Amino acid sequence: MTRPVARPARRHRRAGRPPLLLAAALAVALPGLLVTACSGQGPGAARSVAAAAAGRAAAAGTVPVTGRPPGAAAAIRLLAQAARAAIATSYQGEEVVTRWNGSGGSVLVANIWHISGGQTVTQTLDAEASFSSQPYLSSDTDGQAPEGVLGVTTPLVQLLETHYLVMYAGAGSADNRTAQVVEAWRADGSLAARFWLDDATKLPLEREVFDPAAHVISRDVFINVRFANQAQAPAAASAPGPWTDLESHAQLLALRAHGWLVPSRLPGGLSLFTGAETDASTGTVLDLGYSDGLSVVSVFEQHGNLAAPLAGWRRTTVDGHAVFVAEPDQRSMTWAGRGMVYTVMADAPAQTVDAAVSTLPHDGPMGFWKRMSRGLVRLVSWANPFR
């Protein structure tokens, strides 16, 4: 029987992912959390230009790639510099990741150490899972950020530019440091996200994500940052097993011929942008990453049936489908469907996650004729005890 993927192994990852997604099962459910950070506000004129441009885009139903307003080029350049800074700069600090939903919120705190062009060690803190104090190692050294800082990596920046109107919003401050502020706007004219990039290094220091009604649904801050090797990182935990990156979109889609689902897109504008596979005791595990530049959903596929019991998981329903969610964060879900076990780990709004889960295959409830056929087999076995 196949058990769900509870926590992705550390692996060589070209595309990179935010630390929250990779440790989503460690989030602690809270009734609420206040995060204190110095937040800069960009000039109102820049936001007005962005809103007007986004409004024009909404009328066309797309985010324009050409004819962007003047602040767009500067914003894209700053985000590209931020993605490179996550690789080239040596730094250490504390990342505080906060998410809110209708029933409360969750928080993940981690210490992060990164050596320029080399390894990144992340040690989760204040999480109730038994393995939360174990650091894990990421060792991408090929020109991509290991997991990025606050989700700013080259592939995700490219997706962000594709799906949103990105605008420069002026100067601000975060973690008591001067910063440059970049905003991402939806095609309907609503603000989707705001980034604070360190003025000196361009390293991301803060990110806020908003729902269409302008409510903050997530806030990530990188605090107590030091830009030098001023402290030795702890020894990283050994990886459970090697993962092999699947290099191209075509290579990922070719897996369909071998019995894998591999959707090219998920609801909410999430595009397939990365993938990897590994061999586990239960067989091959496929890891697929989907994003629009802000939200990230990781889908794990394994051939087999769902193991029981599932300690630490509870049964619930999503759009009428029975799934199991990991306690206490409920950002990790697993279920069986058509001979496959799917596990979803998400850093995305609840409605986006629910829509993604609903579109993937599920085993339906036992129908009338299946119950009748099983009952008939049982009656025959009773009538013929030597069967």
Domain-by-domain residue ranges, the chain? 19-226, 244-359
Tell whether omega for the bond before 328 is within 30 degrees of 0, i.e. cis. Answer: yes
Domain 244-359: which topology? Phosphorylase Kinase; domain 1 (3.30.200)
CB 157 within 8 A of CB 166: no
Does 358 have pLDDT greater than 90?
A: yes
Tell whether omega for the bond before 8 is within 30 degrees of 0, i.e. cis. Answer: no
pLDDT for position 240: 52
Q: Which of 246-260, 309-323, 346-360, 369-383 has the lowest mean pLDDT?
A: 369-383
Averaged pLDDT, 256-273: 94
pLDDT for position 148: 65
pLDDT for position 22: 38
- Which of 165, 172, 174, 180 shows the shortest CA–CA distance to 293? 165
Residue with the bigger pLDDT between 127 and 109: it is 109
**Band of the pLDDT at 47, cuts 50, 70, 90?**
very low
**What's the rounded Cα separation, in Å, for the pair 69 and 259?**
46
- Please state, as a whole number, how many other Cβ atoms lie within 10 Å of the Cβ of residue 142: 10
Does 246 have pLDDT greater than 60?
A: yes
User: How do residues 196-230 score in pLDDT, each as one tens digit?
Assistant: 999 999 999 999 999 999 999 999 999 999 987 65
Selected from 3.40.630.10, 3.30.2350.10, 2.50.20.10, 3.40.640.10, the CATH number assigned to the domain covering 19-226 reads 2.50.20.10
**What's the rounded Cα separation, in Å, for the pair 199 and 207?**
15
Does 288 have pLDDT greater than 50?
A: yes
Does 77 have pLDDT greater than 90?
A: yes
Q: Which of 11-20, 176-185, 217-226 has the lowest mean pLDDT?
A: 11-20
Does 37 have pLDDT greater than 60?
A: no
